[in-house]
Chain A
Amino acid sequence: MSKPKPQKEYEKTGAFHFFRWLSGCKDPYVGEVEMKPQKEEVVPESTILERMNERQMIRDKVYDAENNKGLVIFHRIYVASAILFCIALVGLLLYTVSYLPRTGNPSNPDNNEVAERYIESGLQETGAMNIVSGMILTYRAFDTFGETNVLFIATCCVMILLMVDDSILKKQEEKNDRRFEPKNDAILQGTAFVLCPIIFIFGIYVILNGHLSPGGGFSGGAILGAGLILYVCAFGFKKTQQFFNEHIYKVAKITALCMYGLIGTYFYITGANGIENHIPLGIPGHILSSGIILPINICVGLEVACTMYAFYALFRRGGL
Chain B
Amino acid sequence: MTIFQYILLGFLVVCAISVSFSKNLLNSILIYMSYSLVMSLIWVCLESPDLAITEAAVGAGVTSILFFATLKKIHGIQIEKTEKEGEDHE
**A residues bordering B, Cβ < 8 Å?**
130, 132-133, 206, 214-216, 218-219, 222-223, 225-226, 229, 308, 311-312, 315-316
Residues from 40 to 78 in B contacting A, C-beta threshold 8 Å: 48-50, 52-54, 57-58, 61-62, 65-66, 69-70, 73
A311 near B50: Cβ-Cβ < 8 Å: no
A219 near B54: Cβ-Cβ < 8 Å: yes
A-B contact count (CB 8 A): 46
B57 near A312: Cβ-Cβ < 8 Å: no
Query: A206 and B62 in contact (CB under 8 A), knowing A315-B69, A315-B73, A316-B69?
Result: no
User: Which residues of chain A come closer than 8 Å to B70, judged between CB atoms?
Assistant: 315
User: Which residues of chain A come closer than 8 Å to B48, judged between CB atoms?
Assistant: 132
A306 to B69, CA, bound (A): 18
| Nearest-neighbor residue (CB-CB) of A213 within chain B | B49
Show 30 residue pairs from A and B whose CB-CB distance is below 8 angstroms, ordered by the A residue: A130-B50, A132-B48, A132-B50, A133-B50, A206-B53, A214-B50, A214-B52, A214-B53, A215-B49, A215-B50, A215-B53, A216-B50, A219-B57, A222-B54, A222-B57, A222-B62, A223-B53, A225-B57, A225-B62, A226-B57, A226-B65, A229-B61, A229-B62, A229-B65, A308-B62, A311-B62, A311-B66, A312-B65, A315-B73, A316-B69
| Dominant SS among interface residues on chain B | helix
A125 to B71, CA, bound (A): 48
| Nearest-neighbor residue (CB-CB) of A214 within chain B | B49
Q: How far is the CB of A299 from chain B (nearest CB, A)?
A: 17
Of A214, A223, A315, which one neighbours B57 at CB under 8 angstroms? A223
A225 to B48, CA, bound (A): 22
A226 to B60, CA, bound (A): 10
Residues from 10 to 36 in B contacting A, C-beta threshold 8 Å: none
User: Which residues of chain A come closer than 8 Å to B73, judged between CB atoms?
Assistant: 315
Q: How far is the CB of B60 from chain A (nearest CB, A)?
A: 9
| Nearest-neighbor residue (CB-CB) of A223 within chain B | B57
Query: A222 and B58 in contact (CB under 8 A), knowing A215-B50, A215-B53?
Result: yes
A219 to B57, CA, bound (A): 7
Q: How far is the CB of A86 from chain B (nearest CB, A)?
A: 13
User: Which residues of chain A come closer than 8 Å to B69, judged between CB atoms?
Assistant: 312, 315-316
A219 near B62: Cβ-Cβ < 8 Å: no
A315 to B62, CA, bound (A): 12
A315 to B70, CA, bound (A): 7
B49 near A222: Cβ-Cβ < 8 Å: no
Q: Give 15 A-B pairs besides A214-B52, A226-B61 with Cβ atoms closer than 8 angstroms.
A: A132-B48, A133-B50, A216-B50, A219-B54, A222-B54, A222-B61, A222-B62, A223-B53, A225-B62, A226-B62, A226-B65, A229-B61, A229-B65, A312-B66, A315-B70
User: Which residues of chain A come closer than 8 Å to B62, judged between CB atoms?
Assistant: 222, 225-226, 229, 308, 311-312
User: Which residues of chain B come closer than 8 Å to A215, judged between CB atoms?
Assistant: 49-50, 53
A308 to B65, CA, bound (A): 10
Q: How far is the CB of A204 from chain B (nearest CB, A)?
A: 14
Of B50, B61, B66, which one neighbours A315 at CB under 8 angstroms? B66
User: Which residues of chain B come closer than 8 Å to A308, judged between CB atoms?
Assistant: 62
Q: How far is the CB of A320 from chain B (nearest CB, A)?
A: 14
User: Which residues of chain A come closer than 8 Å to B53, judged between CB atoms?
Assistant: 206, 214-215, 219, 223
A229 to B62, CA, bound (A): 8
A235 to B50, CA, bound (A): 31
A316 to B71, CA, bound (A): 10
User: Which residues of chain B come closer than 8 Å to A216, judged between CB atoms?
Assistant: 50
User: Which of B53, B57, B58, B70 gathers most chain A CB within 10 Å?
Assistant: B57
Nearest 6 pairs between A and B by C-beta?
A: A214-B49, A222-B57, A219-B53, A226-B61, A315-B69, A219-B54
